[in-house]
């Protein structure tokens, strides 16, 4: 399917970002996977080339391109190297600073994120609360000119690397929806990192536990109204789900692109695997689903650009593509036979990566809740 979604300036951006991935990421990727983390230097390089937070206003060092197609291109080009979390940084976390931050906060925090000098993370999930945000137990109490933050978080992407963590904490014991968003920075006393967690996939990305013991977050580090963070999070989760959907589709497409040449080349019973009817039919099904999914995602991106992407549409995009990525990577691995199960075979990496897409940024069940609820309003 020919995509009529991008303009020449997007293609230019893709070309230069693809070169960057080829030269600066791909040669080192296996080592980063083994280390379980992506080095901080690559963020600075990406920032210096203008690949982070492309949407950010020029005043903060960005290109001012408020067009999610650039975020989409970054997701697509990074699909073969899962775990280089520029998307999380630029498309998921930095928008909190942009939408909720004051001028002073944007100058102090967003500009460092755009330059890649500060790596971002968002910490909502806790050992006892993930899907149910109102169930978090981390608390923040106002003490004069600062808030005292206490609690723990888990599964935080970039948790080890992050210089700036946006932490969700309860601010009123009587109201479970009174949540504030606090910027906690490396070096603040009482802020500690726990284990770097070992995951099924996304090995090049660090995912960590974080602990907060009487962390004094200055009032200047509160994002928006400290009692209305719940609503802000619900709004921003739409962006996160669109970013996740772009990533899911990109992973599925990458798996398909790896598999097609392989089945043409690989022989069994004296003929290419591609010539079995089963292979042709499965390839045809996947190609059809990928193209149809792409049309919906491209449309969702444009709805986002015009400010019209609804929470339900974002949930549909996230649900469909996450499930698709699971189906496609599973079927593609099957076509690789035993090789597909070996970590050295890139399809194994995509298969493992795709599994979490049904879990993070809201599980598939939660997406169905959102869509179902909207039907019964």
Region of 23-31, 171-179, 300-308, 360-368 interacting with ligand FAD (CB under 6 A)? 360-368
Residue 8: how many other CB atoms lie within 10 Å: 7
Rule CB under 6 A: which of 94-133 touch ligand FAD? 121-125, 130-131
Q: Residue 337 in contact with residue 344, Cβ under 8 Å? A: no
CB of 13 to ligand FAD, least distance (A): 26
The structure tokens 């079927």 sit at 331
Task: For ligand FAD, give the closer residue by CB, 79 or 356.
Answer: 356
Residue 127: how many other CB atoms lie within 10 Å: 11
CB of 11 to ligand FAD, least distance (A): 31
CA distance 8 to 188: 45
CA distance 145 to 241: 35
CB of 334 to ligand FAD, least distance (A): 24
User: Phi, psi at residue 280, to the nearest 5°?
Assistant: -60, -45
Report the residue from 155, 191, 262, 335 that binds ligand FAD according to the rule CB under 6 A: 155
Report the residue from 81, 90, 111, 157 that binds ligand FAD according to the rule CB under 6 A: 157
CB of 82 to ligand FAD, least distance (A): 11
User: Phi, psi at residue 140, to the nearest 5°?
Assistant: -130, 130
Total residue length of the chain: 377
Task: For ligand FAD, give the closer residue by CB, 76 or 206.
Answer: 206
Residue window 180-199: x/- pattern of binding to ligand FAD, with contact defined by CB under 6 A: -------------------x
Residue 240 designated active-site: yes
Q: Residue 183 in contact with residue 220, Cβ under 8 Å? A: no
Task: For ligand FAD, give the closer residue by CB, 110 or 156.
Answer: 156
Catalytic residue among 77, 240, 289, 316: 240
Task: For ligand FAD, give the closer residue by CB, 180 or 362.
Answer: 362
369 binds ligand FAD (CB under 6 A): yes
Region of 95-103, 240-248, 306-314, 352-360 interacting with ligand FAD (CB under 6 A)? 352-360
Which residue intervals of the chain are DSSP H helices?
A: 8-20, 29-35, 40-48, 68-77, 86-87, 94-100, 103-105, 111-115, 229-265, 277-305, 311-335, 337-340, 346-355, 364-375
Q: Pull the structure tokens for residue 140.
A: 């923040």
Rule CB under 6 A: which of 19-58 touch ligand FAD? none
Report the residue from 156, 245, 317, 347 that binds ligand FAD according to the rule CB under 6 A: 156
- 181: three-class secondary structure by DSSP: strand
Report the residue from 268, 365, 372, 373 that binds ligand FAD according to the rule CB under 6 A: 365
Residue 334: how many other CB atoms lie within 10 Å: 15
CA distance 213 to 173: 18
Residues lying near ligand FAD in the complex (CB under 6 A) are found at 121-125, 130-131, 155-157, 199, 202, 207, 356, 359-360, 362-363, 365-366, 369
Catalytic residues: 240
């Amino acid at each position: 399917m020919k995509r009529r979604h991008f303009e020449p300036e997007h293609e230019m951006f893709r070309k230069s970002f693809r070169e960057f991935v080829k030269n600066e990421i791909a040669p080192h990727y296996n080592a980063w996977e083994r280390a379980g983390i992506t080095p901080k230097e690559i963020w600075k390089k990406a920032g210096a080339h203008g690949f982070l937070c492309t949407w950010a206003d020029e005043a903060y060092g960005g290109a001012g391109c408020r067009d999610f197609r650039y975020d989409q291109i970054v997701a697509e080009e990074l699909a073969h190297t899962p775990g280089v979390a520029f998307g999380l940084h630029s498309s998921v976390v930095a928008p909190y600073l942009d939408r909720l931050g004051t001028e002073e906060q944007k100058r102090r925090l967003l500009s460092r994120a755009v330059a890649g000098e500060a790596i971002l993370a968002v910490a909502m999930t806790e050992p006892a609360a993930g899907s149910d945000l109102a169930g978090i137990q981390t608390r923040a109490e106002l003490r004069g000119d600062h808030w005292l933050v206490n609690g723990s978080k888990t599964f935080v992407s970039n948790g080890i690397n992050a210089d700036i963590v946006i932490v969700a904490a309860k601010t009123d014991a009587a109201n479970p929806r009174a949540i504030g968003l606090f910027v906690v920075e490396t070096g603040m006393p009482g802020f500690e990192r726990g284990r770097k967690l070992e995951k099924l996939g996304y090995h090049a990305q660090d995912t960590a536990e974080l602990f907060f013991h009487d962390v004094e977050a200055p009032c200047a580090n509160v994002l928006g109204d400290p009692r209305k963070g719940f609503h802000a999070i619900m709004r921003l989760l739409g962006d996160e789900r669109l970013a996740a959907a772009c990533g899911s589709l990109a992973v599925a497409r990458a798996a398909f692109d790896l598999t097609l040449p392989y089945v043409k080349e690989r022989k069994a019973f004296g003929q290419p695997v591609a010539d079995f009817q089963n292979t042709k039919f499965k390839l045809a099904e996947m190609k059809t689903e990928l193209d149809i999914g792409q049309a919906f995602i491209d449309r969702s991106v444009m709805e986002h650009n015009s400010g019209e992407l609804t929470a339900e549409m974002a949930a549909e995009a996230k649900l469909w593509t996450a499930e698709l990525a699971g189906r496609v990577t599973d079927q593609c691995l099957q076509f690789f036979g035993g090789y597909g199960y070996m970590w050295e075979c890139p399809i194994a990496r995509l298969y493992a990566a795709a599994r979490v897409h049904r879990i993070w940024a809201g599980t598939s069940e939660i997406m169905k809740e959102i869509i179902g609820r909207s039907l019964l309003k």
